[in-house]
């Protein structure tokens, strides 16, 4: 897909009276690409153990993982390096990744298998459908949304995943006290995220007054290769963490 990040025209998010979510609009574009041997192995050999589908229905997380533990969901994990690192570093936490692109899903599954991870499951589905149909209310300790497509052109802002209805859906899936962690390398999108989140009921920004609305990159969020390269080039990254209050 051609990177749309060449138009910095911005506008604010839709107001409270606007439709909260347009079902026919996707926040992503499926890209075709060649699969490596490892990615194919992940999809063919590891998927039966770690893969989940909408057809599996509403999950009982204790049954799914065979234990009671904190649960983190990451939407759009890309090639999965960050999510695999988190799962390996935090064996006492369970992780669910959601990604629509086959190469990334295959790569993550292959790597998770090679590292012997048992605390990770994967959906290759639309994230909204997974949240609505598969994850119970008040079941998640953290939901992560790292570097979603910023859709910078004004005419494409409706495709941004961070919209009031999405945020409300996230709120219902988080436990009270659970956190929604967003990160972007596109400053205009960071401002959009903050505006949507600050207007959303049932959330409180965790940033201190010296950095609000943003927080310094937490140590528990692994730095991606893309992010490290951007940092060397002087690009910014903005993290926001909001806690569910009600």
Per-residue pLDDT tens over the stretch 54-77 = 999 999 999 999 999 999 999 999
Mean pLDDT of 90-104: 97
Residue 40 lies in a domain: no
Per-residue pLDDT, averaged over 137-166, amounts to 93
Q: Is 2 within a domain?
A: no
Tell me the CATH number at 69: 3.40.50.150
* pLDDT, mean over the chain: 88
Task: Give the pLDDT of residue 52.
Answer: 98
Residue 85 within a domain: yes
Q: Could you tell me which residues come within 8 angstroms of residue 46 by beta carbon, excluding any fewer than 6 positions away? A: 109, 110, 112, 113
Average pLDDT over residues 183-200: 96
Q: 116 or 156: whose pLDDT is higher?
A: 116
pLDDT in tens, 203-216: 999 999 999 999 99
Whether residue 9 lies inside any domain: the answer is no
- What is the domain extent for residue 77? 60-244
135-147: average pLDDT: 97
Work out the average pLDDT over 192-206: 98
DSSP sequence for 150-172: ---SGGGGGG-S--HHHHHHHHH
How far from 62 is each of 67, 73, 134, 158, 172, CA to CA, in Å?
Answer: 5, 15, 14, 36, 19
Active site annotation includes 149: yes
- Residue 131, domain member (yes or no): yes
Instruction: Select the more confidently predicted residue: 235 or 47.
Output: 47
The active-site residue, picked from 149, 185, 198, 239, is 149
CB-side neighbour CA atoms (13 Å) of 223: 14
Count of the separate structural domains present in the chain: 1
| Range of weakest confidence among 10-14, 149-153, 174-178 | 10-14
Domain assignment present for 7: no
Q: Does residue 129 belong to any structural domain of this protein?
A: yes
Q: Is the pLDDT of residue 40 over 80?
A: yes
Q: Residue 204 falls within a domain, yes or no?
A: yes
């Amino acid at each position: 897909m051609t990177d749309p990040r060449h138009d910095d025209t911005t506008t604010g998010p839709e107001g409270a009276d606007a439709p909260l979510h347009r079902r026919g609009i996707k926040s992503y574009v499926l890209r075709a690409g060649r699969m490596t041997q490892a990615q194919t192995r992940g999809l063919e050999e590891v998927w039966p153990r770690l893969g989940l589908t909408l057809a599996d229905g509403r999950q009982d997380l204790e049954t799914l993982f065979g234990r009671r533990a904190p649960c983190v969901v990451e939407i759009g994990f890309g090639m999965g390096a960050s999510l695999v690192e988190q799962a390996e570093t935090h064996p006492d936490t369970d992780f669910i990744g959601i990604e629509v692109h086959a190469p990334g899903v295959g790569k993550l599954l292959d790597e998770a298998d090679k590292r012997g991870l048992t605390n990770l499951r994967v959906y290759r589905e639309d994230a909204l459908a997974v949240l609505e149909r598969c994850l119970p209310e008040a079941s998640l300790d953290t939901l992560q949304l790292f570097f979603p497509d910023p859709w910078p052109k004004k005419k494409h802002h409706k495709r941004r995943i961070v919209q009031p209805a999405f945020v409300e859906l996230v709120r219902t899936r988080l436990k009270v006290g659970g956190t929604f962690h967003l990160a972007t390398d596109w400053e205009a999108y960071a401002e959009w995220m903050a505006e949507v989140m600050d207007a959303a009921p049932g959330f409180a920004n965790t940033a201190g007054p010296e950095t609000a609305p943003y927080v310094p990159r937490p140590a528990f969020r692994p730095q991606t290769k893309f992010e490290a390269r951007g940092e060397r080039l002087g690009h910014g990254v903005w993290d926001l963490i909001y806690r569910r209050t009600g």
